[in-house]
Structure 1
Amino acid sequence: MSTEADFTPDEWNLLLSAPAFAALYIVESDRYSRLVAYQKMMAGIWAILETAMPDTSSKLIVAIRAALHAGQRPRYPEHFPEDRMAICRLSLEQCRQAAAILSRRAPNSEAVAYASWLLAIGEAVAAVPDEAFPSGQRMTQTAEHARMALEDLAITLSIC
């Protein structure tokens, strides 16, 4: 069982922030209206904090959720990119680094549970409906972008 004490402050910060980066990656994988982007981010926040999500048996995930519920907030990069693709690259890199830390420092079962949790967060974000367009073309394109983004996230986390 891994807890905060098993990681350096920077590693723990990365483990706390990667769930938000997983959600952000899916949101930034396509262009959405502000309302839909907001709804998708709210779905991500719910998925991060909701204890009914998958993998609640992982003591590490329980510890991360408890830290967030207790008010512990991750430090995010001071200078966030403005370009959508740069945000996507940053988000995937943060998720990759968190998975790499766990592959070195935690039992395999916890590393797999954490990676699966990040993917479940991405799936919750992708599941939020997009705007309806009369032709249906935009919805089809957006669904394809979300599917590809989830595949990219799974590959990054090495659980595909």
Structure 2
Amino acid sequence: MDGGGHTHSPPSNGTMMMHRRHMMMHMTFFWGKNAEILFDGWPGYGHLGMYLLALALVFFLAFIVEWLSNCTILRGSSSSSQRSAAAVGMLQTLLYAVRIGLAYLVMLAIMSFNAGVFLVAIAGHSIGFFLFGSRAFNKQASAPGKTSDLPPMNCC
């Protein structure tokens, strides 16, 4: 037993060193396919296909966040009853929770500090906003000041 309180030495076959190398977390942006995104060991090390799948997932999540931020699927008539207003309110709350959960997943993916993940998250949000939030594809006139069924994600 040494002064550090260790009772045994690590195995000498290199597995401890390999395991420690994979546990290292970057604290600055880096390029490369060797990253852990959202889940322990995913997409893995040295697997380009899995890394590209992870990038596609982050893009899709960011895109869906923008769609949910601008969707207008819950439009009701002004003569709706109190019961249906409560049901619409519950559905809006559920969609809001899903949107915020997905937004947090995108944020956690970006916290991998992988530059590719950062770029595809920005691309997913940008393309989603272009298709759903900008005036480029807005064919119907909505109520003044009303752009979505869900509360805005910004304070402006």
Please, what TM-score do these two structures have when normalized by structure 2?
0.42
**Larger RCO: 1 or 2 (CA < 8 Å, sep 6+):** 1
**Where is the helix percentage greater, Structure 1 or Structure 2?**
1
